[in-house]
Amino acid sequence: MATETKTPAGTAPAAGEGAPERHHHGRVGPDELARAEVKDGVLFDVRGLEVFFPIHETFFRSMVQKEKRYVRAVDHISFCVKQGEILALVGESGCGKTTTGRTMLRLEEATGGEILYKGLPMRSFTGRALREYRKKAQIIFQDPYNSINPKQTIFDIVAEPLEVNGVTSSEHEKEERVVKAISQAGLRPAQEYLYRYPHELSGGQRQRVCIAGATVLEPDMIVADEPVASLDVSIRNDILKLMVEQKDTLGVTYLFITHDLSLAWVISDRIAVMYLGRIVEIGHTEEVVANPQHPYTKALISVIPVPDPLAKREHVILEGETPNPVDIPSGCRFHPRCPMRIDACREIDPPDVHIGGDHYAACIRLK
Amino acid sequence: MSATATSPSKTPERIAHKGLLEVRELTTRFKLSQGWVRAVEKVSFSLEPGESLGLAGESGCGKTTAALSILKLLPENGRIVSGEILFDGKNLAKRTEYGMSKIRWKEISMIFQGAMNALNPVTETGKQIAEPIILHEGVSQKEALKRTRDLFELVGINPKRVMDFPHQLSGGMRQRAMIAMALACNPKLVIGDEPTTALDVMVQAQILDLIERLRRELDLSFILISHDLSVMAETCDKGVIMYAGEVVESGTVAQLFNDPRHPYTRQLIKAFPNIHERREMVSSIQGDPPNLLDPPPGCGFSPRCNVKTGACTDDPETVEVEPGHFVRCHLVKAGVI
């Protein structure tokens, strides 16, 4: 499936040639991980990442069928996450955006390709190094109603990551860090919230608690998986603002996973549009939205509803639905639904085409 | 509360009213152990035949309750306290359960929220759609299933899949099946309760396009209930903005979006990003919606309003700022905004 000519979309200039230098053929020690520095501003370098899930077949089928079948959730994607940016992964359900995020947190194992964290291959993090890594990468889930323990106080919820990782040496230091994280998450004065329970808070406040729990360890990156999808409009914008604020003041890097391109447009620095396990277009947010190149991105942007009844724009409505990620169409996987397909699309798996700057799109018609 | 109650006689007289549906001062409450919740308070709007109306607001503003009141499908603790629901010359608020059963689906139908859960998982989709046809029109199951196949064709599902179970259909197809079900008995009015909320953007566009096409072809009246003002702006002729159980502003979508007058409408519109304009951080509305067990006095929005005055603790009057454009705000009445 993977084309050899594929250029890593949006990777830093240093990456690409002979990157995995140094000595980590084996394991990476926790100290090495703690000491690792960001090079050329690239925090994560994802190269040809593949995450396949095997399908459990019936006994009969497994005997008859020669090839083992897989759900190709993420199918050979390359991109980088720069330090201190908000990178939005946008796509419809089933496009692999959440799997990508989870793999970057090592909640899912990659079946192919590699992810370099500060130049170190993530696959070699085991034992203590993996624990060290867990402090560096955190997650915020979609639903703040079910992702925190209703029986714990806000203090306990936010302090738990510190306790689990044995980060703080004294009760006093722990409290200081918890209070700091809570007030950075916008719950001020923090003292007032410490001994409350989740049910006393509104949805927006609960999501702030989740954010405080994620930032208390001062991680390098937070994966925010649809953090505002279950919140009301009037509240969700505050959470988005908070993410931008934390990026600016704390230098947290966010991987913002969302199905809503307009939200990605509001807060992200760069956007990667995914379709059926592939990144079809990646680039600076304003550039991708104002000047989309891939037909899928164009269609997606055209159908986003806008609060203006006089804007009569043409909607490019794609026929059918996203195919399942087991039987991926040949050639360009978007070709069965593409309004601009040509015959060659059926055979050629399109490589990334450089549009300009950081902007890449995978479509053969762009050459 | 006029004395136009339909007597149980054979030929109930037609009540004169505006359009196809006119809701007058509808008030619905829910009884909880702590007291009565003010879910819908003196809500009025009307709908012409063939028109589409959007009912918008944040969760808990009473938009779904208003729709359920029209069909009288309220949960057991809900009650229509006062007001009239005039539909095609009949006052639905006064109808008995039996009388309503003749109206539901035959004249007013509903596309429910969350197509995943609204269909029975252990019955074939087609049979579920055929059920109201058999019930209301007394045809055989064979005939009803034949009509279901036509309905599938109409909403863009392969008629061969009529005997598929809901889990065999994709999310978009299930939503299409729900639409087919709503159209089964050729109703005059269809109410869509967040019909596209759980769907992907592209599927949402397909479904909204389908609803628009069917509305034109079948000359349907449509009420869209949505929290998403952008969807309302793109699909409806008229809009009603609700907050804390009350209508704060109503008018044509052009009036609402190009000349919003109520502070809540203004702030709510700003909360939606417009991808075709200059990029800026969307704003939010400070504070939380009020507790409707104990609503604030006067204007329900005043505790969160950025331009409130001392007068806001009194009940504001609804004023017509332009023909068809109604706003419920003291400041608008005083001519300040």
The interface predicted TM-score (ipTM) is 0.87
- The per-residue pLDDT for range A137-156, each reduced to its tens digit, is 999 998 888 889 999 999 99
Q: Which residues fall within 8 angstroms of residue B38, CB to CB, at 6 or more apart?
A: B29, B244, B245, B292, B293, B295
What is the per-residue burial (b if ≥16 Cβ within 10 Å, else e) of A275-297? Answer: bbbbbbbbbbbebbbeebbbbbb
Domain-ending residue, one of B137, B171, B186: B186
Share of chain B above pLDDT 90, in %: 75
**Both structure tokens of A286:** 């304003």
Share of chain A above pLDDT 70, in %: 93
B15, part of any domain: no
Looking at the fold, whether B179 and B232 belong to one and the same domain comes out as no
B92, part of any domain: yes
In chain B, which residues touch A (CB < 8 A)? 58-59, 170, 172, 200-206, 209, 227-231, 233-234, 253-254, 257-258, 267-269, 271-276, 279, 281-285, 288
Stretch A179-195: mean pLDDT: 93
In the predicted model, is pLDDT for residue A10 greater than 70? no
Q: How far is B4 from chain A (nearest CA, A)?
A: 39
B7, part of any domain: no
pLDDT of residue A169: 86
B174, part of any domain: yes
At B244, which CATH number?
3.40.50.300
> Contact A92/B201, CB-based, under 8 Å?
yes
Domain-ending residue, one of B152, B186, B220: B186
Contact B201, A301 (CB under 8 A): no
Mutation site for B-interface testing, chosen from A187, A262, A314 by largest number of B Cβ within 10 Å: A262
B100: nearest Cα among B80, B123, B125: B80
Q: Tokens 């700091």 sit at which residue? A: A180
Looking at the fold, whether B35 and B159 belong to one and the same domain comes out as no
pLDDT of residue A270: 97
In the predicted model, is pLDDT for residue B25 greater than 90? yes
Looking at the fold, whether B94 and B123 belong to one and the same domain comes out as no
Q: Would you list the domain boundaries of chain A? A: 30-56+67-366
Residues of B in contact with A241 (CB under 8 A): 281, 284
Distance separating alpha carbons of residues A49 and A119, to the nearest angstrom:
15
pLDDT of residue A64: 83
Looking at the fold, whether B25 and B171 belong to one and the same domain comes out as no
| pLDDT band of B10, cuts 50, 70, 90 | low
Looking at the fold, whether B86 and B140 belong to one and the same domain comes out as no
CA distances from A302 to A78, A245, A270, A286, B50 (A): 26, 30, 19, 15, 27
pLDDT of residue A24: 52
pLDDT of residue A12: 41
Residue A177, CB-side half-sphere exposure with 13 Å CA sphere: 22
Looking at the fold, whether B60 and B145 belong to one and the same domain comes out as no
Q: Is the peptide bond before A189 cis (omega within 30 degrees of 0)?
A: yes
A101: nearest Cα among A307, A257, A298: A257
> Contact A308/B233, CB-based, under 8 Å?
yes
User: Would an 8 Å CB–CB cutoff place A241 in contact with chain B?
Assistant: yes
Looking at the fold, whether B153 and B275 belong to one and the same domain comes out as no
- The per-residue pLDDT for range B187-226, each reduced to its tens digit, is 999 999 999 887 888 999 999 999 999 999 999 999 999 9
Contact A301, B195 (CB under 8 A): no
Q: Which residues fall within 8 angstroms of residue B283, CB to CB, at 6 or more apart?
A: A237, B267, B270, B271
Domain-ending residue, one of B186, B219, B242: B186
- The per-residue pLDDT for range A101-131, each reduced to its tens digit, is 999 999 999 999 999 999 999 998 988 899 9
- Name the average pLDDT for chain B: 90
> Contact A202/B288, CB-based, under 8 Å?
yes
Looking at the fold, whether B216 and B138 belong to one and the same domain comes out as no
B202, part of any domain: yes
Number of domains in chain B: 2
- The per-residue pLDDT for range A36-87, each reduced to its tens digit, is 889 899 999 999 999 999 988 888 888 887 788 899 999 999 999 999 999 9
Looking at the fold, whether B328 and B239 belong to one and the same domain comes out as yes
| The dihedral sign for the CA sequence A88, B194, B153, B118 | positive
CA distances from B329 to B63, B229, B308, B333 (A): 19, 20, 10, 6
Domain of B128 in residue numbering reads as 116-186
Looking at the fold, whether B329 and B263 belong to one and the same domain comes out as yes
pLDDT of residue A7: 43
The CATH number of domain A30-56+67-366 is 3.40.50.300: yes
Contact A154, A196 (CB under 8 A): yes
In the predicted model, is pLDDT for residue B289 greater than 60? yes
Residues of A in contact with B231 (CB under 8 A): 305
- The per-residue pLDDT for range B255-279, each reduced to its tens digit, is 999 999 999 999 999 999 999 888 8
Contact B224, B52 (CB under 8 A): yes
- The per-residue pLDDT for range B222-246, each reduced to its tens digit, is 999 999 999 999 999 999 999 999 9
Distance separating alpha carbons of residues B152 and B157, to the nearest angstrom:
5
